[in-house]
Structure 1
Amino acid sequence: MTRADLFAFLRLPPARRTARRALRRRAALAALGVALTFASPASAEAPATTIGTAEGLPITLSGSYLAGRLAGQSRDLANAAAFFGEALDADPGNAFLLDRTFVLQLANGNITAGLDLAERLTANQTDHFLARLVLAADAMRMDDYARAVTLVDNGARGPLAELTSRLISAWALQAQGETDLALERIATLEGPDWFDVFKTYHTALIQDIAGRHEAALDNFASAYGIDQGALRVIEAFARAKARSGDKAGALAVLDDYQKVIPDHPVIVATRRDIESGKALALSATDPDQGAAEVLYGLGAAIGRDGGEELAATFLQLALYLDPKADTGYVALASLFQRMGDANRAIETLKQVSDSSPLKRDAEIQIGLNYNSLDDLERSRSHLSALIESDPSDLEAVTALGNILRAHKLFEDADAVYSRGIATVEANPRDQDWTLYYYRGIARERTKRWPEAEADFRQALKISPEQPLVMNYLGYSLVDQGLQLNEALDMIRRAVQLRPQDGYIVDSLGWAYYRLGRYAEAVTQLEKAVQLRPEDPVINDHLGDAYWQVGRRLEARFQWNHARDLKPDEEELPKILEKIANGLSDDKTKNGAVEPAAKKNGG
């Protein structure tokens, strides 16, 4: 786990994403042909997911075990938990099945089942870290904080276990009024550098809840110094500053984040509260919330590092301790999205409270997940309703526009982007360049070039030197033989700004190809293929360039590779034709533009 990944533990998962190329759609998993139903993570008492071997079919140890392994490999937590549970029922003394079922039940949100299994695990393996952690979380929920301390203090140790146990123990001690002992428990914790932000942040939270506000403010400032991009730290630091009377300093902290991530809903809400003079609550108002913050932070970090089951376990435990933690639902939904489980992500996002600053963000993600399920109409309807309720929500506008554009509904996408642009065109902000860029793409694809060019140039006027815009505009100009010197300069500059972006390097190579500068095209396209070896378009382009410089065998190799990489349906016949017959001797038929002088004087 890298230092950068662990610093990210305090950031909310990036919920709003766009891509240069079409949005990738993923079908929901239906492992083993069993229809899935989902348990709500809202509380420990939510009904367990009722799946597994279909009714009427025989249950066998080997069958359930293999089915569980398959579900686990498919990242289908619900079925994996159910099938391993069946296998454990068939062989209750099997230590491996007990441990595996325990982890999967927790990751699936079945905390009650997990608690029963934790008791069985600790009966034979007294220092089992995760089992003791689950029992400690339950003890905290039951206000048995002394037992929680005993449980986490006597588990197995490793870097992650040590950090988790110490922080949970500190919060359980604070719950008993032992503030000094709680702070000592954190202060004496030794470990790698990435421990520091956790230690400092939770020290500040405990000091704040204990009424030691000046010391808390100092530690929030220290945590902020470690990572000025950490949203959770920024929110807590700004609130602490405002409570201390430094309203200007609090707003300055928010301003700095605004420059990096404009209009984040949590920052917007925090600013509104500070400016209004509203009484500001502590970032953690009770020890259970503090312990949940530990588990949420670590779970989010582990999930980014690829440990999906353990991450889900930590996040589910965080929500067990604090069922109102909207950040936990967002983090868990983000994890389900990365696992390809859009249905589960939707159900989790629905748990975000209506009063949360993250509610609209969650609703946008729900719309995007409907699209991931190939339910375009539901996605469109959901996002359209959000836009109707607030046409100035440019995140919703962008999400719907990009979905429509990905489905090649360019005119509809144009209309959506235009609606968003209408709310900002009188006074566009730096970040609004994206709306003009996306609308420009939609208009270029519908052959409305003058309007598309105007949008691209407006995007660059709002935010100069945006490599995506320079790349698209420059390539489009080259493609039409227009303003070739300016166009090539734009693409070169885009490559300078994003030298590791295979798509932009491909554009430069293809621009050289279109200008008949085939040797230069080969050089750039070979670089592009190294950066994006999985892209059929780039491999196809390199094949064309190889053909033009006389490297015919290599050309056919690249075209065959492009064919095998599953290109778009409309491109496949063209690739097959080239594999069979090569390229024509007519340069313009092969994609080269007419000489610039015949177009517009260059």
Structure 2
Amino acid sequence: MKRIRYFAITLLIPLFFASGTNTMATSTIAGEEAGQVNDRSCSYFYFLWGTHSEYSRLFEEALEAYEKALICDPNALFIEKKLPALHFRLGENDQAIQLLKKGIEKDPSDISQYLLLAHLAIQQNKRDEAIEVYTEALKHDPENENVRLRLAILLVQKDRLDEGETIFRDLIAKNGDLYLARIYLARLLQMRGADDDAAKVYEDALTLNWSPELAFEMVDFYSALERYEDVLRLYDSVIANDSSNQRAIIGRIQTLLAIGKDEDALVELQNLRKTNGNIESLDMAIAKTMLRLEKVDEAKTILESISQGEVASEANYLLGLIAFQEKKMESALGYFQKVPNSSPEYADSIYLQVRILRDFDRFDRAFSLLQKATNEPQGCDPLFFALLSSLYQEKDRLDDALATLTEGTTTFPESEQLHFELALLLERAGKQQEALKAMEKVLEISPNNPEALNYIGYTWANLNINLAEAKKYILLAVEQKPDNGFIRDSLGWVEFRLGNYETARAELLQALDLEPEDPNIHEHLGDVYRALKKYAEAIEAYQKGHDLFSQESDRARMKKKIDELQKKKK
């Protein structure tokens, strides 16, 4: 126990002498058990000391003083009730809970004890226990608004929505000024998708007690519903109460842009600039809005003025985009080169530089740019490896392309894009087993990737292996992309391999409805008709495939199939 502080004693002792009270006097409380004597003056002394310490937030001293007060007067229930709160403030929750339970046994009508006990249960994530505590409290004070409101909130958190809603509505019916009950009811209705009812309750709450916090909550609600006129009304109400509220001002401008009122947004942005002075982020917003309004020259002027400051990266990127669209490619390159690798626009600026250099047959510069970008840790992006590999493939440098994608998958092992492109390139290089492994890696990263599922399923079907598993993969892909003709073709092909010819025919006809110009689907349909011994239909399908194929080897294969069937017909 801590020693009583000297200055506290000197402040408090005169109170007793001034009143003529003997601090050592004792008295007997009426109704006490025979022989039990309580020193009320002693108890009062320590009570005052505890009160002073508690007010000074010296909770440990306050607890010590109140405990001494109870030694002097064990029947001082009002002092005893102070102990749980102090234990709670000191983080001694178990002691607080024990004392609260004892206190409730002694005085079950004291609702404050139930409230603190429930609060402690909630802190320990024991919401069911807290509900029981609130329910017990209501047995002693059935109409206590505070307890009923807290109970309803807990019931909603436990997904007991009907019970919670009933309490909220009853509270509002009995006390129309109960603001919090309206807010929680509105949130509950929002959870249930009853948006019109939620809006009405929100509006009633706002009328009852307007606050910027509630207005912003309603802004989020109405924004999700795309009720932008209501959003603007609420922003206006905030600005009317606080003309300098930046959140409301910016939010209003963003809403105007969202609903296509770009001219109005620009006017407000320019007015805001007059009020706030030369703020580069604000100038950037003005420039972007001008670009939306096709006021390109004015936007360029602003962007040039801020292309050296805190928003230089974005300003130079936008200037590069403008030059790119104006087909001023050298200027565009100059701007894009000013975008540092630490900026969010860096990856896009590299992509556009590569595109320009490739279009002007400056492959050496493009290779150099991408090689440098892939070797820099900061700003490095999977896109750079994909672009570099693509350039190598364009120059028929297949080994370099493969090495680049392999390095990319090592640098970015969780990149779906790089593993997928590596698989396709391995397939092109005739390394089918390695391609399958690379595509399986895609599925490890993203188990529902429809293209990867289709690739593996179709490859297995083509190899006539793992057919049951192949069908499962392709069906998963179809679930995600039911209108993809190529995936439908895969499903038809695996059904063919399984010997389900009629099912295969139906799927392939559906695939042709989606992709009528794909020669491979026509060839697959021809194979199905041949298996069904419908030779005329098979020849027709092969002929369409023949006419659509561009490679001579494919056309020759179709011609051979047609000739074989024509002999059978004879």
When normalised by structure 2's length, the TM-score is 0.44
Q: Which has the larger radius of gyration?
A: 2
Structure of higher RCO (CA pairs closer than 8 Å, 6+ residues apart): 1
Q: Which has the higher helix share?
A: 2
TM-score (normalizing by structure 1): 0.42
